[in-house]
Amino acid sequence: MRLPKPKIVISGASGLLGAGLQKALAARDRPVLRLVRRQPSTPQELQWNPSHAALFDHLGALEDAAAVIHLSGANIAAHRWTAAYKRELVASRVETTHALATALGELSRPPESMLVASAIGFYGDRGDEVLDERSSRGAGFMAELCDEWESATRPAIQAGIRVVHLRLGLVLGKGGALDRIKPIFRLGLGGRLGTGRQWMSWISLEDAVAAILFALETPALDGPLNLTAPHPLTNADFTRALACQLHRPAFMPAPAFALRLCLGQMADEALLASTRAVPARLTEAGFRFAYPQIDGALAAALQDHALS
């Protein structure tokens, strides 16, 4: 008799990464249980309320899961970083992660692994410095948020669950940042941000999903893991590459002062910060990138757009 494969629990399953991950797991015949905040519409969904002490009505549904992949969180770039929105960013990441890690640690049969989204914002604005998982935390709101986010998994670690912090760079795929910037470039209005000298660490959606599965299936990996392609590039080079793929000019730079005027602190930490992160631990563990260079990654992402 063939035993059923243990399920993978995913929060944030409707997002860019979550949707790609579900598709990849389905191809491997791995059952998925999606954590949702609304009323469940299928047996493959479990309602949770991260702001409520009980968290789950049926905590037992998480028993015997192979792993939990926690991807949910408020959009960093959705609003200006007011004091209220900063609190929402913290609550949607730190508080939900701590609540979930605590609940998992209390299970009689907890999952072997918990993979939690984080970001290369952990490193802050570091100029030309090459940053890997051994690099120290940077300064600023994003760096502090990522540090607290990762620390919130402590209850799971104390319960013996393997925890991996997925420090994501800019993910290139349908439904992500390209959806917002592609129309601007198609109109010929695209251009570098500020000086354009700031480093951008990116990864294709296909490689991001594959890297998560690789981490899931590699027990030796725990702690921080940079999910970035091996060849970061400056904002000016990224702009040129995207304009070339779209066959459009890129001559309308956005001055730093204008970005700061419109977006405040978010401009400095999310758009103008220089973070040259490399995937040292993935590379050392033998992960192979499908799209190590920007041209191939953009071509694949834009092809996905064209087919949709």
Instruction: Mean pLDDT check: name the lowest of 94-108, 246-260, 278-292.
Output: 246-260
Instruction: For 163-198, write each residue's pLDDT tens digit.
Output: 999 999 999 988 777 777 777 777 666 778 889 999
Instruction: Mean pLDDT check: name the lowest of 4-8, 97-101, 137-141, 283-287.
Output: 4-8
Under DSSP, the state recorded for 81 is -
* Superfamily of the domain at 8-176+202-230+276-290: NAD(P)-binding Rossmann-like Domain (3.40.50.720)
Average pLDDT over residues 200-214: 97
Is the model's pLDDT at 306 over the cut of 60?
no
**Of 4, 61, 100, 89, which Cα lies nearest the Cα of 270?**
89
53, exposed or middle or buried, with CB in 10 Å at 0-12, 13-18, 19+?
exposed
Q: What is the pLDDT confidence band of residue 54, given thresholds at 50, 70 and 90?
A: low
Average pLDDT over residues 24-28: 95
Partner residues linked to 244 by β-bridges: none
237, exposed or middle or buried, with CB in 10 Å at 0-12, 13-18, 19+?
middle
Residue-level pLDDT at 232: 97
Q: Provide the token pair at 38.
A: 């609304």
Query: What is the sign, positive or negative, of the torsion defined by CA atoms of 109, 225, 29, 153?
Result: positive
Residue-level pLDDT at 205: 96
Between 61 and 281, where is the model more confident? 281
Residue-level pLDDT at 114: 98
Average pLDDT over residues 267-272: 81
Q: Provide the token pair at 211.
A: 């890297």
Is the model's pLDDT at 308 over the cut of 60?
no
Q: What is the pLDDT confidence band of residue 275, given thresholds at 50, 70 and 90?
A: very high
Average pLDDT over residues 281-298: 97
Q: What is the pLDDT confidence band of residue 1, given thresholds at 50, 70 and 90?
A: very low
Is the model's pLDDT at 42 over the cut of 80?
yes
Residue-level pLDDT at 188: 67
Instruction: For 224-264, write each residue's pLDDT tens digit.
Output: 999 999 999 999 999 999 999 988 877 777 777 777 877 78
Alpha-helical runs (H) found in the chain: 16-27, 83-90, 96-105, 141-151, 154-158, 177-186, 205-216, 235-246, 256-263, 265-266, 280-284, 294-307
Is the model's pLDDT at 105 over the cut of 90?
yes
Compute CA distances 308 → 35, 79, 182, whole Å.
Answer: 26, 27, 14
- pTM for the whole thing? 0.92
With left for phi above 0 and alpha for psi between -120 and 50, is residue 67 left, alpha or beta? beta
Helix (H) or strand (E) segment spanning residue 164: strand 162-168
What are the sequence ranges of the domains in the chain?
Answer: 8-176+202-230+276-290
Q: Provide the token pair at 8.
A: 């993978």
Is the model's pLDDT at 214 over the cut of 50?
yes
Residue-level pLDDT at 213: 97
Instruction: Mean pLDDT check: name the lowest of 74-83, 145-154, 210-219.
Output: 74-83
User: What integer best gives the mean pLDDT of the chain?
Assistant: 89
Is the model's pLDDT at 19 over the cut of 70?
yes
